[in-house]
């Protein structure tokens, strides 16, 4: 099962390598990883998506908590949370196909960020499902390139 | 007070209560060695950095204090990696100081540069590169705090040469505050009461004790629990000595080379209290059949150890000492009233029957020295009062099986990593910790050759370490596996060419003995142990002797190959 882990950690050199090394050294898999500073000086936030059964996820979380530079680890899976990922996708858009692609862009509330004679580069923001859905839809036009940020996620406010 | 980085290090070591450190100088750490004579610190110059780290580890295990190792950059640092991994696997508190090239050169592939922080990341509890002289004192304080607190382990501090030479005002922090590191020592009270309840209801309880009992000095409370509640105890290799080897409640070690009694007790028990043990694969055998009839209670200070290899019913994150002490407080009042804990008469009788019908044993052969008999002789002579270190392999298992460890911290062996070449330098460390005790390294002819150069260290400092080589001319444990599971294909395990160990000892200025006659074993060992010098006793033992019982890898604990 796919899990989203939200990790707060000290912003020190080598922290990313400690986390990534923990995953590789123990045979766990990182699907996506995103890291950036928080508002608090010296603290970074990392979002990792990974897959595994309950026992593996429990081990991953415990091992992460064991790292001296990790302050907090939360598994957002199954909690009320907001998840977003950004993707840039370059797709074939020859004459005759362009209108349909733009319609999809419109429906998905994406944005065209670059245009050429026979291709469009589209920016999409959304959760995992939305990103996968648009890739599926655009596949038949011919996808030339894709780049994704990996998920970022946050707990919803308690309402 | 303005001090250089090198002085800050030495000053801080003194404040941490360090009196001995093991090391090897080099260009990057000359500043430290330059100031060293002015501080009340004994430095033991080993002949290899691996010797230094194992000696620091052996010192830590024997003394219960943090061991310290100081080496230079590049190869000096990488030579410690095996020793760091050894300490990490067995949760031994060691602080390793490595020299590093000057900060402007870091990353430039400078002479003797290596990213030791990167290399040692997976095998240290934590590590540091000091990039600012102002952080140095606080980093050292943190390193010692991390090494000894929670689940202990090795911590590495990398010190660039320019940082060691630069100056700052010295202030050593009194306390450490790390928001991301707060080990849980005290157990949850409800869980403790639950465990008492389980003990009360159990008909076949068993304690399974590991190295955590010894690391946290919980042996007295463990023995109290075992004796008061009449619960038999089995121990991992790392747990040996947690209760006296001759205690009638002690069943011996469990697992691959465990006793028949211990392995059957685990399989029949209805309650297992696993205290400071981590269910290593050498202990559990086939996990799916391990302790199937038991309610498993697992006490460990490290949450990652719990539910890692086996599913437990009652997980308790706590220090072993704190848990056992809380358990004692709960149980003691029950003993006074009518609410007494029931005895487990039938269970103890069953265990007694196993122990008497299937004890550890070996077949004697006329004119042949059995390695087990050598270990028994060592026990007879020392009466359990010696500190025993071991190398790795058959020698280690025979020592674990046939020496009855009387006290904690008297069995010093590389458990988790199984590091050949560990025992002798570790013995040097243990002898430094206890200069007046008899320290014996039980070795194999293969293992001892992995760090034999430390003979010079032992002789140089007048350390009367005794090395007893159970010499069978083979890498015995691998040979045993080849015999049993690889159609006797003894590929590359026969050590055809071996040094004359007596001459070797003499070449280093030590004393050498050779034993080839079974009748001479005890008398020669007595003579060797009485000497106040470094001694090698080379004992020619039966080359084809195997360690038994044995549970083949991946089999259930009760599928034992007996003699």
B279 is catalytic: no
- Chain B residue with the nearest C-alpha to that of A73: B180
Task: Kindly report the number of other CB atoms within 10 A of residue B186's CB atom.
Answer: 13
Instruction: Tell me which of B49, B142, B268, B322 is the catalytic residue.
Output: B49
CB atoms within 10 A of CB B426: 38
Reading the block at residue B272, the tokens are 């297992």
**From B63, B65, B112, B522, the catalytic residue:** B112
- Listed in sequence order, the residues at least 6 apart from B392 whose beta carbon sits closer than 8 Å to its beta carbon are B413, B414, B418, B419, B420, B422, B423, B444, B447, B477
Residues of A in contact with B317 (CB under 8 A): none
- Closest chain A residue by Cα to residue B303: A62
Question: Cα dist. A78→B90, B304, B498 in Å?
Answer: 37, 22, 63
The whole-number pLDDT of residue B96 equals 98
Phi, psi (degrees; rounded to nearest 5) at B282: -70, -20
Active site residue B513: no
pLDDT, tens only, A82-126: 999 999 999 999 989 999 999 999 999 999 999 999 999 999 999
Q: What is the pTM of this model?
A: 0.95
A41 CB burial (10 A radius; 0-12, 13-18, 19+):
exposed
- A146/chain B closest Cα distance in angstroms: 32
Asked if B180 reaches chain A (Cβ–Cβ under 8 Å), the answer is yes
Asked if B370 and B541 count as a contact pair (C-beta separation under 8 A), the reply is yes
Q: What average pLDDT does range B454-467 have in this prediction?
A: 98
Total residue length of chain B: 563
Mean pLDDT of chain B: 96
Segment among B14-18, B94-98, B405-409, B549-553 with least mean pLDDT: B549-553
Residue B171 and residue B137 in contact, taking contact as beta carbons nearer than 8 Å: yes
- Cβ proximity of B252 and B209 under 8 Å: no
Catalytic residue, chosen from B477, B480, B501, B550, is B477
Evaluated on CA atoms B273, B151, B114, A21, the torsion sign reads positive
Q: Does B282 touch chain A (CB under 8 A)?
A: no
Contact criterion met (CB < 8 Å) for A68 and B178:
yes
Q: pLDDT for A25-59, tens place per residue?
A: 999 999 999 999 999 999 999 999 999 999 999 99
SS (H, E, C) B195-242: HHHHHHHCCCEEEEECHHHHHCCCHHHHHHHHHHHCCCEEECHHHCCC
Task: Give me the half-sphere count of Cα atoms (radius 13 Å) on the Cβ side of residue A85.
Answer: 25
Is residue B111 flagged as an active site residue?
yes
Q: Is B432 a catalytic residue?
A: no
Confidence at B563, pLDDT banded by 50, 70, 90: low
Mean pLDDT of B259-276: 97
Distance from CA of A16 to the nearest CA of B (A): 12
Inform me whether the C-beta atom of residue B177 falls under 8 Å from chain A C-beta atoms: no
Contact residues on chain B for A59, CB-CB shorter than 8 A: 304, 307-308
Identify the CA nearest to B202 among candidates B226, B231, B227: B231
Residue corresponding to tokens 């404040």: B15
pLDDT class of B344 with cuts at 50, 70, 90: confident
Whether pLDDT at A159 is above 60: no
Buried b / exposed e along B256-286 (16+ C-beta atoms within 10 A): bbbbbbbbbbbbbbbbbbbbbbbbbebbbbb
Residue B194 CB neighbour total at 10 angstroms: 15
Could you tell me if A73 lies within 8 Å of chain B, comparing CB atoms? no
Of A25, A59, A68, the CB nearest to B308: A59
Q: How far is CA A13 from the centre of its chain?
A: 23
- Residues B166-178 have a mean pLDDT of 96
DSSP string covering A35-50 = EEE-SSTTEEEEEEEE
- Confidence at B334, pLDDT banded by 50, 70, 90: confident
Chain B residues with CB under 8 Å of A13 CB are 129
CA atoms within 13 A on the CB side of A72: 7
User: Which pLDDT band, with edges at 50, 70 and 90, does B339 fall under?
Assistant: low
Provide the pLDDT confidence category of residue B1 given band limits of 50, 70 and 90. Answer: confident
- Taking the C-alpha atoms of residue B523 and residue B381, their distance in angstroms, rounded to an integer, is 10
In the block, tokens 């030590």 appear at: B510
> What does DSSP assign to residue B494?
B
The conformation of residue B499, written as its DSSP 8-state character, comes to -
Number of DSSP helices (H) and strands (E) in chain B, helices first: 22, 20
From its phi and psi, is residue A66 left (phi > 0), alpha (psi between -120 and 50) or beta? Answer: alpha
CB contact under 8 A, B304 and A62: yes
Closest CA to B493 of B544, B536, B456: B544
The Cα B559–Cα B142 span in angstroms is: 47
A60 within 8 A of A50, measured Cβ to Cβ: yes
- Say what the pLDDT of residue A84 is: 96
CA-to-CA distance for B235 and B240, rounded, in angstroms? 6
User: What pLDDT is recorded for position A42?
Assistant: 93
List of chain A residues whose C-beta atoms are within 8 Å of the C-beta of residue B304: 59, 62-63, 66
User: Which one of A13, A55, A66 has the shortest CB-CB distance to B307?
Assistant: A55
pLDDT value at A157 more than 90? no
Express as a percent the part of chain B with pLDDT over 70.
99
What average pLDDT does this structure show over B401-418?
98
Catalytic site residue B420?
A: no
DSSP codes, B342-363:
PP-HHHHHHHHHHHHHS-----
Rounded CA gap, B195 and B322, in Å? 14
List all residues of chain A from 39 to 68 with a beta carbon under 8 Å from chain B: 55, 58-59, 62-63, 65-68
Question: How far is the C-alpha of B58 from the C-alpha of B22, rounded, in Å?
Answer: 11
β-strands A81-92, A143-148 pairing:
antiparallel
Interface test with A, best of B130, B180, B183, B312 (most A CBs within 10 A): B180
A11 in reach of chain B (CB within 8 A): no
For an interface test with B, give the residue of A23, A62, A73 to mutate (most B CBs within 10 A): A62
For the residues B325-331, what does the mean pLDDT come to?
95
CB contact under 8 A, A59 and B304: yes
CB-side exposure of B331: number of CA atoms within 13 Å? 25
**pLDDT tens digit sequence for B46-93:** 999 999 999 999 999 999 999 999 999 999 999 999 999 999 999 999
Q: Is the pLDDT of residue B173 over 60?
A: yes
**Mean pLDDT value of segment B373-395:** 98
List the one residue out of B425, B386, B392 whose CA is nearest residue B409: B386
């Amino acid at each position: 099962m796919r899990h989203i882990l939200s990790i707060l950690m000290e912003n020190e050199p080598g922290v990313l390598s400690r986390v990534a090394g923990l995953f590789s050294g123990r045979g766990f898999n990182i699907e996506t990883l995103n890291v950036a500073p928080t508002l608090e000086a010296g603290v970074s936030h990392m979002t990792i998506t990974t897959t595994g059964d309950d026992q593996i996820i429990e081990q991953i979380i415990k091992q992460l908590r064991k790292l001296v530079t990790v302050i907090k680890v939360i598994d957002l899976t199954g909690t009320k949370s907001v998840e977003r990922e950004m993707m840039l996708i370059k797709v074939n858009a020859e004459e005759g196909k362009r209108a349909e692609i733009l319609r999809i862009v419109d429906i998905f509330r994406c944005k065209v960020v670059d245009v050429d004679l026979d291709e469009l580069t589209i920016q999409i923001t959304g959760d995992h499902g939305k990103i996968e859905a648009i890739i599926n839809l655009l596949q038949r036009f011919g996808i030339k390139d894709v780049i994704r940020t990996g998920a970022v996620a946050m707990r919803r406010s308690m309402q | 007070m303005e001090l250089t980085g090198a002085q800050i290090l030495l000053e801080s070591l003194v404040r941490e209560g360090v009196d001995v450190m093991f090391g090897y100088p080099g260009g990057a750490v000359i500043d430290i060695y330059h100031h060293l004579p002015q501080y009340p610190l004994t430095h033991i110059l080993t002949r290899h950095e691996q010797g230094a780290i194992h000696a620091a580890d052996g010192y830590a295990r024997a003394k219960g204090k943090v061991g310290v190792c100081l080496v230079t950059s590049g190869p000096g640092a990488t030579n410690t990696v095996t020793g760091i991994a050894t300490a990490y696997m067995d949760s031994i508190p060691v602080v390793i100081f490595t020299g590093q090239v000057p900060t402007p050169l870091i990353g430039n592939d400078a002479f003797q540069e290596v990213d030791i922080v990167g290399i040692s990341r997976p095998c240290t509890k934590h590590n540091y590169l000091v990039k600012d002289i102002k952080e140095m004192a606080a980093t050292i304080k943190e390193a010692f705090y991390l090494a000894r607190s929670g689940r202990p382990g090795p911590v590495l501090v990398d010190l660039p040469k320019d940082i060691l030479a630069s100056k700052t005002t010295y202030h050593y922090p009194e306390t450490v505050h790390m928001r991301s590191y707060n080990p849980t020592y005290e157990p949850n009270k409800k869980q403790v009461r639950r465990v008492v309840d389980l003990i009360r209801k159990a008909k076949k309880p068993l304690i399974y004790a590991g190295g955590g009992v010894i690391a946290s000095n919980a042996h007295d409370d463990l023995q109290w629990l075992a004796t008061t509640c009449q619960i038999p105890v089995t121990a991992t290799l790392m747990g040996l000595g947690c209760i006296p080897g001759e205690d009638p409640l002690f069943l011996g070690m469990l697992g691959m080379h465990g006793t028949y009694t211990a392995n059957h007790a685990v399989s029949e028990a209805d309650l297992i209290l696993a205290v400071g043990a981590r269910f290593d694969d050498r202990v559990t055998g086939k996990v799916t059949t391990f302790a199937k009839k038991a309610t498993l209670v697992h006490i460990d200070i490290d949450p990652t150890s719990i539910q890692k290899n086996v599913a437990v019913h009652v997980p308790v994150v706590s220090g072993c000492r704190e848990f056992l002490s809380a358990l004692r407080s709960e149980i003691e009042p029950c003993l006074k009233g009518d609410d007494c804990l029931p005895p487990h008469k039938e269970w103890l009788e069953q265990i007694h029957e196993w122990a008497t019908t299937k004890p550890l044993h070996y077949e004697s052969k006329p004119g042949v020295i059995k390695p087990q008999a050598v270990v028994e002789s060592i026990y007879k002579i020392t009466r359990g009062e010696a500190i025993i270190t071991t190398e790795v392999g058959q020698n280690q298992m025979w020592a674990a099986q046939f020496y009855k460890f009387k006290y904690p911290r008297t069995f010093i062996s590389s458990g988790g990593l199984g590091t050949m070449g560990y025992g002798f330098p570790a013995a040097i460390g243990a002898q430094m910790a206890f200069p007046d005790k008899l320290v014996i390294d039980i070795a194999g002819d293969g293992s001892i050759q992995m760090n034999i150069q430390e003979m010079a260290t032992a002789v140089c400092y007048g350390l009367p370490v005794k090395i007893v080589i159970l010499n069978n001319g083979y890498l015995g444990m691998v040979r045993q596996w080849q015999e049993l599971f690889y159609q006797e294909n003894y590929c590359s395990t026969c050590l055809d060419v071996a040094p004359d160990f007596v001459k070797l000892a003499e070449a280093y200025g030590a004393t050498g003995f050779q034993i080839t006659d079974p009748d001479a074993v005890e008398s020669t060992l007595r003579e060797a142990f009485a000497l106040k010098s470094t001694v090698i006793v080379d004992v020619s033992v039966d080359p084809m002797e195997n360690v038994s019982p044995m549970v083949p890898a991946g089999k259930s604990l009760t599928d034992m190959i007996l003699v």
